[in-house]
């Protein structure tokens, strides 16, 4: 409608234009909220990966510094010599001589079977663990574009509801613009009653003294604060130094 267009800058920032590729202010707010919800998952993932690395480091230290190897050697020799040539000596040599034994024992053992055998995660495993969270963050960034189709889909299936929404938005914008102009007039009037500070007076004197400095010492719009351009309109009152951009004027 001609009574609404062109939109003011404050009004433009509150709307979403579907044909713009850039992410707009309401979409950025929703996207930031979605990304903030991913922070607990990121912190949990970092905690789990850090805990895994810590446990692996502890078990690796235990494995390398708690290894003990035992070596046991023993030797046993028993020999009974019966001297003589009598019948009793021969009998004793036949019976007790069977006790003559000789053996050597050598045992080597260690606690290797009792030590932990940790396995460190590879970079690929860490990457595979972080990929779902990265994909979730990318979906948070890309979801703003499919969300723009919601209004078009709802308008296709519910045209009467869409018409009521458009009328409501139109009346709401008219009321907001009326209140906006009322509030801005009061703000500008209060600002005009305040005496200018030393910096403002010096800036005005330099602009009057050297007009070529105006391209460097540019003023701002009294309402929206945009820098001065050739399209800006000064207040027609000679005693007022207010400057307005084209849309605010």
pLDDT band at 213 (very low <50, low <70, confident <90, very high): low
pLDDT-wise least confident of 60-64, 196-200, 229-233:
196-200
Please give the pLDDT value at position 39.
93
- Token digits for 238? 């000679």
- Token digits for 86? 């009598």
Distance CA 73, CA 225 (A): 94
Task: For the chain, give the mean pLDDT.
Answer: 82
Distance CA 177, CA 192 (A): 22
Distance CA 237, CA 232 (A): 15
Distance CA 249, CA 184 (A): 12
Please give the pLDDT value at position 40.
93
- Show Cβ contacts of residue 110 under 8 Å, excluding neighbours closer than 6 positions: 67, 68, 69, 70
- Token digits for 163? 């018409």
**Does residue 204 carry a pLDDT above 70?**
no
Question: Which position has the token pair 């267009």?
Answer: 5
- Show Cβ contacts of residue 196 under 8 Å, excluding neighbours closer than 6 positions: 204
**Does residue 165 carry a pLDDT above 70?**
yes
Query: Which residue did the predictor score with more confidence, 79 or 171?
Result: 171
Handedness of CA 156, 160, 165, 167 (dihedral sign): positive
Instruction: Write down the pTM of the prediction.
Output: 0.58
pLDDT-wise least confident of 53-57, 119-123, 172-176, 189-193:
189-193
Whether the Cβ atoms of residue 47 and residue 72 lie closer than 8 Å to each other? no
Distance CA 134, CA 233 (A): 50
Question: Which position has the token pair 């600002």?
Answer: 191
* Phi, psi angles (nearest 5°) of residue 137: -65, -40
């Amino acid at each position: 409608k001609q009574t609404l267009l062109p939109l003011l800058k404050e009004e433009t920032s509150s709307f979403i234009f579907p044909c713009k590729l850039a992410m707009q202010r309401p979409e950025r707010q929703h996207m930031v909220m979605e990304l903030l919800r991913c922070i607990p998952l990121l912190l949990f993932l970092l905690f789990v990966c850090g805990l895994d690395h810590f446990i692996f480091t502890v078990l690796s230290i235990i494995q390398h510094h708690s290894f003990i190897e035992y070596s046991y050697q023993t030797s046993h020799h028993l020999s009974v010599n019966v001297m003589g040539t009598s019948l009793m000596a021969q009998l004793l040599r036949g019976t007790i001589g069977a006790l003559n034994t000789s053996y050597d024992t050598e045992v080597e053992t260690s606690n290797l079977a009792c030590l932990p055998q940790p396995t460190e995660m590879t970079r690929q495993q860490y990457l595979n663990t972080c990929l779902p969270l990265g994909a979730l963050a990318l979906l948070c960034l890309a979801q703003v574009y499919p969300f723009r189709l919601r209004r078009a889909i709802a308008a296709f299936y519910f045209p009467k509801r869409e018409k009521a929404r458009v009328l409501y938005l139109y009346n709401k914008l008219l009321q907001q613009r009326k209140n906006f102009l009322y509030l801005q007039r009061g703000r500008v009037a209060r600002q005009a009653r305040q005496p200018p500070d030393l910096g403002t007076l010096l800036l005005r004197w330099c602009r009057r003294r050297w007009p070529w400095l105006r391209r460097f010492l540019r003023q701002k719009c009294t309402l929206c604060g945009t820098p001065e351009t050739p399209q800006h309109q000064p207040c027609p009152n000679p005693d007022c130094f207010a400057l307005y951009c084209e849309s605010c004027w």
